[in-house]
Every structure is written in structure tokens, then in C-alpha cells.
Structure 1
């Protein structure tokens, strides 16, 4: 006899129209009633703290190209870009729009410098601006990663778990993160044309629309906490005492129903889905933030919390395995 716990059977089609925290609460309450015990009531532990935005933003060097040199600005088609930056909107660019501007400027200036020049002094001036812009582009990219409001919301998380069954927006979030990692790669390769063609604002809009990363990290934390509460509740309930000296058949039948209908079909389905989402999205997020001051906290929020959830789930499965070995519960299928 072997418990059909992990991996989740693909043929399982239990339908649940509610989110993971509600499924876990429902499961916990049903177990508590049939076992005549009380579930612990403790607050969700705080997530690893993120460095404040104001402590992460770095000023960009104030580089100025003399707009009075009409020849240079027109020949390089920089006059429009310079005018855009000096406009009222340009002066209050968000970090993402500032990065987009810097990349377009670099791409255009690189193209301009590939032309032949008779004015050596002007060429040297443009080359100096180009080199300085290249050195400062990483600051602009990190400002976007660390201080953009949309990304910050995703990194902080929201108090809303994902659905028990398949969540929407996973593939869209994966695609948006993939585009941002490509942008990061293009910048490291100094491929300014390819980098300037990445629609940064669109990728951020996708992340904002689905809010998948924010909900995923909260779901991981919340499920870990709720599974821990269930395990604490079962600490003083030995499977042996439910079976000896004489098992209560009605109680065991109810437990078997709770196991099959609420643990396997809902709780386990939910945790398997969370692991799948994590495996798709975390590597991309880690790539983006690997060399930033937020990496350690994000690793704690996503990767470490996933490992903790899996440990709590494994402990809970062992309780059911022990019960199944002691009592005639119909929790197993013949293999």
C-alpha cells in the first residue's frame, strides 16, 4: 500500500473557486472539529524587510550637451531627445522612463558616432558624452529595478493569496520578467539598439495588471504559516491513540474524507501549483536582482519560504502516513 500524496495525481479534478488561504483554513477547521481540538491562532510572521526606496536611488551624473550647437544636435538627431528631456514632463521622469530615455540617447549617439566627422573637437565632445552615458546607464537600470513603484509593489507583496486552481497571469508575468532580463543582458553587452527597443513601460504594466509576484510571495508565506499551525495542532494527537485500543470507525471515515476531499484535492493542489509558479518566476527575478541590495531579502521571501513550506508539508504528510499505517483508513491505492 502506498499513499498517493506527491506528486499530485494529474487526474484529480477537484474544483475550488476560492483562494489558497481559505482552503487551508477550511481544512484546518475540519480537522480540528473531528479531532476535538483547537487550532493555534498566531499572526503571520513579518517578511524579510526591504531596504527603503529613498536609500536605494542614486543620482545620475548631470551631463549636458550644448544644444546651441545646432549642427551636432541635428546631425545626430539629438535635438528632439534633448528637448524631450528638458520639457516639463522630462524633468519629472519616473525611473523607468528615465532609463528608456538614456537607452534611446545612447542608441542614437552610437549611430551618430559611426559617421565620418571633420570637426575633431566636436567629435571628441560627443565621444566623451557617450562614454559618460555608458558608465552611468547601470545607475539608471538599478534605479528602475529598485525604486520603480510597480516593481516595488511586487517586491513588497500584497495580502491576497492566489487561487487554489490555476492562476491567471503566470505566463504573462514570465514573459514580462524575461523581457526585463533580456534588457539587463543587452545593457551588459552594450547593445544599445536592442536595449532601446525593449518596451519597459509595457512590461511594468503587465506586472501591475496581474500582480502575480506580489500574490505569489504572500501565498508562499501564508501557506507556510497555516501548515505550521496545522502541524502544531496535531503535535499532541498521536495517530496511535486514534486507533488503539479500539478505533472509532465513524471518526476514521470522516478523517479519510477530509484527507481525500480537502487535503489532496485542495491543499496539496494549491501547494503544488505554488511550487510550479515559483520554479517559473523566481529564477528570472533572481537574475534581475542578483547584484542588488534587495537580493538577500527577496531570496528569503521567495526561495527560503518555499523550502519552509515544503518542509511543513512533508511533516504533515508523515502524520497522515503514520495514521494510515495504524488504522484502516482508505488513504492508499494499490500499486
Structure 2
């Protein structure tokens, strides 16, 4: 989507409307409303698609008990330390992420154990059975982390705070954290327990918690779509017939041209381009993580649908300016690009 005019201002020049994108959109909205002597658009932002409650998503892990009458077996494999850890007071209240880390370390240790020579076929068979059962339950542990971890739930539920106009802090850290979690997902699918157990899950969650970038992104997409839709509804009441009858210039048109060049180009457009960049990089990672979970549909609505809605509203908005520029003596000099 392009409105071909000629360059007017450097896109890097951002007017002083506050750092966050919603402030830029609100300021732009207010200025246009004053020009048209029109009440500001109103209407509450619709609630996002609801997520299932944590209690409806968590699954119980199979209660596996290793009944090794010969303590030699557990000591030889190093399982006695892990079993003791799980049975400790802290181990009994592990979070979903710590539980997953424990399960991965247990599988890695048990895989090494099974490569040793065993004189007792009975003990070997018992260990092999535990290994098979643990492999079958690891997906439950991973999904429990995805669906019930406090940090991830906060990201998925969102936060009522938009991202900055540009260069939002935490983007690279968020991308790295999500990339590591998707790599963990792949390693589990490959049953590469050694590599999977080396990933520091808590570190990735801490990166997400620190910036809450994903939660802010989804709110920014929703609010941008909403504000642009309000703007478009207001602008639909005005066209070249009322703004420049007979193609005549006016002070109102000059003010509109100034608002377009000073606030739409370096702020609103820049903001939507930044949101698009974040969405195109982060959503595929979220989609990969949650594609086989009960949350994929509401997440698609929260991210994909609002992103597409923002793009559609922006396209309609640019079309209004294009039509006005062709039919009225606005003489806009800029290149407008959609997200």
C-alpha cells in the first residue's frame, strides 16, 4: 500500500507527543477532530478473545515411583540425587517450568544409565520401563509450562500498555527467549534429552518477564486497529466535495496538509511499521509454540486478526488521503507505506 507523493520530512523526526504509540494516535485523532470541528470518536475497546483458565489447562503428570530394592542401581545411575531432589520440600512444590527442567534432567540421566552394562535383566527392564513412561509424559510437562507458567500467562493475557513509537526495548531479548523455547520444543520432539536439558528455561522466562514485550504487542495491535477504525469513521463524513468545492484551496486544507506531514508520516505510520516488524518476527515463534494447544485459536485472534485488522484500517486511511490529494490542492509531498 503506497501513496506516491514526494519526500517532505525525514521519517526519523518524531514530534513530541509522548513515547508510546497510543499517544501518537490520540494526538493525531484530536488534531483532525479539531480541524473538522467534530467530536472525538468514542467507543470502548472490545475485550480480547478469552483464554481458558489455568485450572482447565493443567494436566497431572503420571505418578511414577521407582521401586528399586537394590539401591545400587539408583546410585550407579545418579538417579538417587534426582529422586531426592524431587522428594524434597522444594521439589514437591515445583513450578511448571522447574518441573519440566527436572523431567528433562531425569531423562538425560536415565538415557546415559541405560547405555551401561547391567548384570540384572530385571533391573534393566525396570529402568527401561521408567524411561519409556517418562518419554510419554514429557509433552505434558512441556505443555503445562506453556499453558500455566505465570510469566507466560501474563504475556498471553496482555497488559494495557502500548509499545513505544520505535526501537522498543526488550525486542531482541524477547525474540531470543521465544527462539530458545521453540528450540527446546524441537529438541524434545527429537528426544535429544542432553541438548534439551542444557537450555536454561528460567533464564528465558526471566527475559520475557523483564520486558513483557509480547503482552504489550498484542495490546498495541488491538488498540491501533481500534483507533484507526475510529479515525476512518470520522473521516468518512468528509470528502473533496465539502473540503474543496470546485477545487479551491482553503486554510482548512493547509492545516490538514500540515497534520499529515507532521503527525501521520513520522508518527502514526512509523508506529504501524514498527508493530508490523515485531508481529512478523514474534508471532511465528508463538504460533509454533502453541499450535497444538487449546490456546492457539484465541491467540490467533489476539495477534493475527488484530494485526490484519490494523493493516486494513491503515489501508482505508491512506486511501482517504490519496483521494483527497488527487481532488483537492493539498500538494502533499510524502511517501506513505503500509505495514
Structure 1-normalised TM-score?
A: 0.95
Unaligned runs of at least 5 residues, structure 1: none
Partner of 2:60: 59
- After TM superposition, give the deviation of residue 79 of structure 1 in Å: 1.0
Which moves more between the two structures, 161-170 or 247-256? 247-256
- For 1:40, what is the secondary structure of its paired residue? coil
Partner of 1:255: 256
Partner of 2:3: 3
Partner of 2:299: 298
Question: Matched residues in 2 for 1:97 and 1:73: separation?
Answer: 22
- After TM superposition, give the deviation of residue 54 of structure 1 in Å: 0.5
Q: In the superposition, relative to structure 1, how do residues 11 and 245 fare at CA in structure 2: closer, same or farther (>3 Å)?
A: closer
Encode CA deviations 1:91-110: one digit per residue, 9 max, x unaligned.
00000000000000000000
- After TM superposition, give the deviation of residue 26 of structure 1 in Å: 0.3
Partner of 2:44: 43
User: 2:8–2:261: 8 Å Cα contact kept in structure 1?
Assistant: no
User: 1:39–1:230: 8 Å Cα contact kept in structure 2?
Assistant: no
Encode CA deviations 1:113-172: one digit per residue, 9 max, x unaligned.
000100111111111000000000000000000010100000010000000121111111
- After TM superposition, give the deviation of residue 40 of structure 1 in Å: 1.9
User: 1:239–1:319: 8 Å Cα contact kept in structure 2?
Assistant: no
- After TM superposition, give the deviation of residue 326 of structure 1 in Å: 1.3
Encode CA deviations 1:190-241: one digit per residue, 9 max, x unaligned.
0000110010000000000011100000000000000001011112112321
Partner of 2:136: 135
- After TM superposition, give the deviation of residue 35 of structure 1 in Å: 1.1
CA RMSD of the aligned region, Å? 1.9
Give the 5 Å matches for 1:1-335: 3-4=3-4, 11-15=10-14, 17-66=18-67, 69-245=70-246, 247-332=248-333
Question: Matched residues in 2 for 1:13 and 1:143: separation?
Answer: 44
Question: Matched residues in 2 for 1:333 and 1:159: separation?
Answer: 33
- After TM superposition, give the deviation of residue 68 of structure 1 in Å: 5.3
User: 2:249–2:328: 8 Å Cα contact kept in structure 1?
Assistant: no
Question: Matched residues in 2 for 1:41 and 1:115: separation?
Answer: 71
Q: In the superposition, relative to structure 1, how do residues 75 and 333 fare at CA in structure 2: closer, same or farther (>3 Å)?
A: closer
Q: In the superposition, relative to structure 1, how do residues 68 and 236 fare at CA in structure 2: closer, same or farther (>3 Å)?
A: same
User: 1:48–1:297: 8 Å Cα contact kept in structure 2?
Assistant: yes
- After TM superposition, give the deviation of residue 332 of structure 1 in Å: 3.0
- After TM superposition, give the deviation of residue 4 of structure 1 in Å: 4.4
After superposing on structure 2, the runs of 4+ consecutive aligned residues of structure 1 that deviate more than 4 Å are 8-11
- For 2:30, what is the secondary structure of its paired residue? helix
User: 1:240–1:323: 8 Å Cα contact kept in structure 2?
Assistant: no
- After TM superposition, give the deviation of residue 39 of structure 1 in Å: 2.3
Structure 2-normalised TM-score?
A: 0.94
Which moves more between the two structures, 113-122 or 12-21? 12-21
Q: In the superposition, relative to structure 1, how do residues 199 and 325 fare at CA in structure 2: closer, same or farther (>3 Å)?
A: same
User: 2:8–2:333: 8 Å Cα contact kept in structure 1?
Assistant: no
User: 1:176–1:203: 8 Å Cα contact kept in structure 2?
Assistant: yes
Question: Matched residues in 2 for 1:175 and 1:164: separation?
Answer: 21
- For 1:3, what is the secondary structure of its paired residue? strand
User: 1:156–1:214: 8 Å Cα contact kept in structure 2?
Assistant: yes
